[in-house]
Amino acid sequence: MLFLATVVRWQENSWKRVRNETTGTQYLLNTNRLDSIIPRANGLISTLYYFDNPFDHRDRGNYMILLKTVAELITQMDTALSHNYLTMHVYTENDPTQALVDTTIAVAYFAYAVADVNNSARSWVTYVESGWDIKTVLVNHTLAALLALVA
């Protein structure tokens, strides 16, 4: 199941995923990528490892701190999807001046999404394209709208 969460730390070597570690960054995440969840700060937050691509044995989980309790995460894991596929309006060549193309992916392949810093009506979605390929695209949806497509 996809769920919204505020991430205050996401340890990743290639680029900084959390824009502000004090207030955190809201992400749309996928429960099929969570591992080793531990409650912290009297159970108010959770630490875990998040896998961009759990289907690739070369992927290693990245350490993450979420402003979600373990109970909230378990509730998300136990929530059934209404739809197993997600059809997104993707900008051609990730250019908002270009045409939109409908792109359908299995929810299982959805890695994460974050709002576009230039326009909150758009989001950047990262997903597994074919086994080990990770693809990031600019879509014409808010995080909440993306979640509504599968909930």
Question: Measured at the alpha carbon of residue 100, what is the angle toward residues 97 and 106, in degrees to the nearest 5?
Answer: 140
- Residue 71 CA, distance from chain mean position: 19
Per residue in 35-66, pLDDT (tens digit) is 999 999 999 999 999 999 988 888 888 999 99
What percent of the chain shows pLDDT beyond 70? Answer: 98
Q: Is the pLDDT of residue 138 over 90?
A: yes
Mean pLDDT of the chain: 93
Retrieve residue 11's tokens. 């340890």
Distance from first CA to last CA of the chain, Å, rounded?
A: 8
Q: Is the pLDDT of residue 13 over 80?
A: no
* 84-115 CB burial, b ≥16 within 10 A, e <16: eebebebbeeeeeeeeeeeeebebebbbbbbb
| Burial of 50 per CB tally in 10 Å (0-12, 13-18, 19+) | buried
Q: What is the pLDDT of residue 62?
A: 92
Q: What is the pLDDT of residue 14?
A: 58
Question: Measured at the alpha carbon of residue 147, what is the angle toward residues 34 and 59, in degrees to the nearest 5?
Answer: 30
pTM, two decimal places = 0.94
- Residue 130 CA, distance from chain mean position: 18
